[in-house]
Amino acid sequence: KTRMEYLMRIVFILLAFVLHCKKTSSEDVTPPLVHNYYKETCPHAEEIIRRQVEIAVLKEPRMAASLLRLHFHDCFVMRGGPNWEVLLGRRDSLEASFSGANKFIPAPNSSLDTLIANFNQQGLDVGDLVALSGSHTMGQARCASFRQRAYDVDFFHEQYDRYKRYTTFRRILRSICPASGKDHRLAPLDLVTPAQFDNHYFHNLLQGKGLLGSDTVLISQDHEGVILKQVLAYASDEKLFFDSFVESMVKMSNINVLTGNQGEIRRNCRFVNT
């Protein structure tokens, strides 16, 4: 197994530890999500999880981006950037569905209208879309996700290259991602500070160097200029971005919270209880 797979396995083992600390009764009458959910059943759970995840991220920076997906499983940490208290006690669905879990995840070449519609379906607005897109300051994307960005001349010209100012960036992308094959080759979402959570993503957008098509459309298809103003604000004020990101993350963590008999605390996060 690769080092990344090994570290992810460690995180899921820790996650399983947390699940065993949770109350398993479907009659639980506590509020849907609360701080200090494990205070009585596992008083040291959060401290243990936080420490071990920090160690894993230090060993493999890519872990930080992967852990964004664990925000909904009571486990979250970032490499740099803001901090906040995560509301805990989220229930899992009674049905495990891979297609359902990925139903509203936008494709890497989504149009701005599609992105806005996807976010609206989850109760998130354009401001949340821009703030949460800032998470692309970390992590990597597969070649298959940005090949169009590198080779579709019309697409590239439409975005930023009409004066051929960004051919160097396109050349870098092509050196990583061939015109066909090698779909799993990786490129950092932020070429400048790929392992640091900062506001450099927004500088990239302003320079036409967003890796994914769904990044570049935030500006190129923003005909009213509302998003551009927000991008400019975040690029010039990192603290403003951090504050907005935290607010949107907390808002996102409260999407579709299950209560009562609607869900359960799984003994194994990959399977429904038997």
First to last CA, the chain: 30
Pick 30 or 240 by higher pLDDT. 240
- Quick: pLDDT tens for 23-49: 544 444 445 787 777 777 778 877 887
- 242 in the same domain as 205: yes
| Max avg pLDDT among 110-124, 143-157, 227-241 | 227-241
Confidence of residue 114 (pLDDT cuts 50, 70, 90): very high
Is there a single domain that holds both residue 39 and residue 173?
no
d(CA 129, CA 248): 9
Whether 242 is covered by a domain: the verdict is yes
Cα–Cα distance measured from residue 55 to residue 80, given in angstroms and rounded to the nearest whole number: 14
User: Which is more confident, 259 or 67?
Assistant: 259
Whether 46 and 98 have beta carbons less than 8 Å apart is answered as no
Supply the CATH number for residue 206's domain: 1.10.420.10
pTM of the shown model: 0.78
Comparing 114 with 42, the larger pLDDT belongs to 114
Binding site per annotation, positions for Ca(2+)? 137, 190, 193, 198
Model pLDDT, residue 85? 79
150 and 219 share a domain? yes
The per-residue pLDDT for 164 is 55
Tokens of 52: 């071990």
Residue 24 lies in a domain: no
Which of 82-96, 138-152, 155-169 bottoms out in mean pLDDT, i.e. has the lowest?
155-169
Residue 245 reports pLDDT greater than 90: yes
Q: Of the listed 35, 73, 200, 223, which one is catalytic?
A: 73
Joined tokens for residue 108: 């890497």
- Pair 71, 159 in one domain: no
Q: What is the mean pLDDT of residues 249-262?
A: 84
Looking at the structure, do residues 186 and 79 belong to the same domain, yes or no? no
At residue 16 the predicted structure's pLDDT band, cuts being 50, 70 and 90, is: low
Residues 143 and 176 in one domain: yes
Give pLDDT tens digits for 40-76: 777 887 788 778 777 776 776 655 555 555 554 444 4
Q: What is the pLDDT of residue 87?
A: 79
Mark the binding-site residues for substrate, compressed into ranges.
106
200 is catalytic: no
pLDDT at 204 (0 to 100)? 94
Q: What is the mean pLDDT of residues 72-100?
A: 71
Residue numbers in the known binding site for heme b are: 136
- Determine the pLDDT at residue 7: 55
Q: Which residues are annotated as a binding site?
A: 106, 136-137, 190, 193, 198
List CB contacts of 151: < 8 A, sequence separation 6 or more. Answer: 174, 179
Range of the domain at 146: 98-254
Cα(137)–Cα(20) distance, integer angstroms: 34
| Cβ partners under 8 Å of residue 94, min gap 6 | 262, 263, 264, 272
| Average pLDDT score, the chain | 79
Kindly report the number of other CB atoms within 10 A of residue 101's CB atom. 11
Same domain? For 172 and 115 the reply is yes
For the residues 146-175, what does the mean pLDDT come to?
72
Residue 169 CB coordination number (10 Å) = 21
Token digits of residue 173: 């992308």
Task: Please tell me whether residues 148 and 250 are part of one structural domain.
Answer: yes
Name residues whose C-beta falls within 8 Å of residue 167's C-beta, 6 or more positions apart in sequence: 161
CA distance 146 to 142: 7
Same domain, 111 and 48: no
Are 144 and 181 found together in one domain?
A: yes
Q: Would you call 129 exposed, middle or buried from its count of C-beta atoms within 10 A (0-12, 13-18, 19+)?
A: buried
Question: Is 92 a residue whose pLDDT tops 50?
Answer: yes
Give yes or no for residue 157 having a pLDDT over 80: no
Does residue 135 sit in the same domain as residue 233?
Answer: yes
pLDDT at position 209 over 80: yes
CATH number at residue 87: 1.10.520.10
Q: Is the pLDDT of residue 269 over 60?
A: yes
∠ CA(62), CA(244), CA(219), 5° rounding?
A: 80
Between 158 and 251, residue with greater pLDDT: 251
- In the chain, how many domains are there? 2
- For residue 187, pLDDT over 60 is answered with yes
Nearest by Cα to 244 from 226, 257, 231, 225: 231
